[in-house]
Chains A and B, each alone.
Chain A
Amino acid sequence: MAALGGCGPVVAALLRRGPAPGLRPVPRRYLYKKKWAATAPRIPCTRLALHHFDVNYSLQLKDLWPSVRASLLCEQKYGALLNNFSADDYVTQELELMNATDFVSEGSRKAQQGAAAEEVRREESRPQEVPGKVRTVMQTETQAEMSPPLRASISSNIKCYTYPRGDITRFRPARQDSLGILDYYLMDAASLLPVLALNVQRGDLVLDLCAAPGGKTLALLQTGLCGHLAANDVSISRTKRLYSILNSYIPKNIRETVSVTSYDGRDWKQLEGGTFHKVLVDVPCTTDRHAVMEEENNIFHKRRTKERQMLPMLQLQLLMAGILATKPGGKVVYSTCSLSSLQNECVVERAVDIAETQFNISVHVEDLSHFRMLFQDTFSFFSDCRLGELVLPHLTANFGPMYFCKLHRV
Chain B
Amino acid sequence: LGKKMRMVRPWHRLPREAVAAPSLAVFKARLDRTLTSAAPPRGGRAVPGMAGRLLRGCVRAAGLCPRRAFGEAAGLRDMGFSQEQAQRLLGVESRLSPQRREAAVAQLLLLGLNAEAILGLLERRPELLRMPTERLQERAGKLRGLGLDGGQLQRALIRCPELFTLPRKRMAAAVRLLRERCLFTAEQLREVLWTCPNVLLEEPHQLHHHFQYVYFRMGVQQKEMVKARLFRMPFAELRNRHIFLERRGLYQTPCKGQTQTNNPKLKDIIQLSEKDFLANVAHSTPEEFEVFKKLLAREEEEKEEEEEEEENRDALYTEEDEDFDSEGSKPARE
Mark A residues whose CB is within 8 Å of B.
31, 54, 58, 63, 65-67, 69-70, 73-75, 165-166, 168, 394-396
Contact = CB atoms under 8 A, between A and B. Distances in A.
A195 B323 CA distance: 58
Most buried by B among A54, A63, A73, A74: A74
A395 B249 contact: no
B248 A70 contact: yes
Most buried by B among A65, A66, A394, A396: A66
Contacts of A168: 291, 294-295, 298
Interface residues of B, number: 19
A162 to B, nearest CB: 14
B287 A70 contact: no
A66 B288 contact: no
Interface in B268-325: 283-284, 287-288, 290-292, 294-296, 298-299, 306, 310
Q: Give the 5 A-B CB pairs with smallest separation, nearest first.
A: A66-B248, A70-B247, A395-B288, A73-B247, A70-B248
Nearest to A72: B247
A5 B173 CA distance: 72
Contacts of A166: 287, 290-291
Contact of A67 (B248, B290, B295, B298): B248
Interface of B: 244, 247-250, 283-284, 287-288, 290-292, 294-296, 298-299, 306, 310
B287 A396 contact: yes
Contacts of A70: 244, 247-249, 284, 288, 292
Chain B interface helix/strand/loop/mixed: helix
A69 B249 contact: yes
23 contacts: A31-B306, A54-B249, A66-B248, A66-B250, A66-B284, A67-B248, A67-B284, A69-B247, A69-B248, A69-B249, A70-B248, A70-B284, A74-B292, A74-B296, A75-B295, A75-B299, A165-B287, A166-B287, A168-B291, A168-B298, A395-B288, A395-B292, A396-B291
A165 B287 CA distance: 10
Contacts of B288: 67, 70, 394-396
B84 to A, nearest CB: 49
A31 B305 CA distance: 13
A66 to B, nearest CB: 4
A155 to B, nearest CB: 34
Contacts of B249: 54, 58, 65-66, 69-70
A395 B290 CA distance: 9
Contacts of A58: 249
B303 to A, nearest CB: 10
A54 B251 CA distance: 13
A123 B283 CA distance: 47
Given A63-B283, A65-B249, A168-B294, 8 more contacts: A66-B249, A67-B284, A69-B248, A69-B249, A70-B284, A168-B298, A395-B287, A395-B288
B219 to A, nearest CB: 17
Contacts of B250: 66
Contacts of A73: 247
B85 to A, nearest CB: 49
Contacts of A74: 247, 292, 295-296
Most buried by A among B250, B295, B298, B299: B295
B297 to A, nearest CB: 10
Nearest to B306: A31
A75 B298 CA distance: 10
A63 B244 CA distance: 16
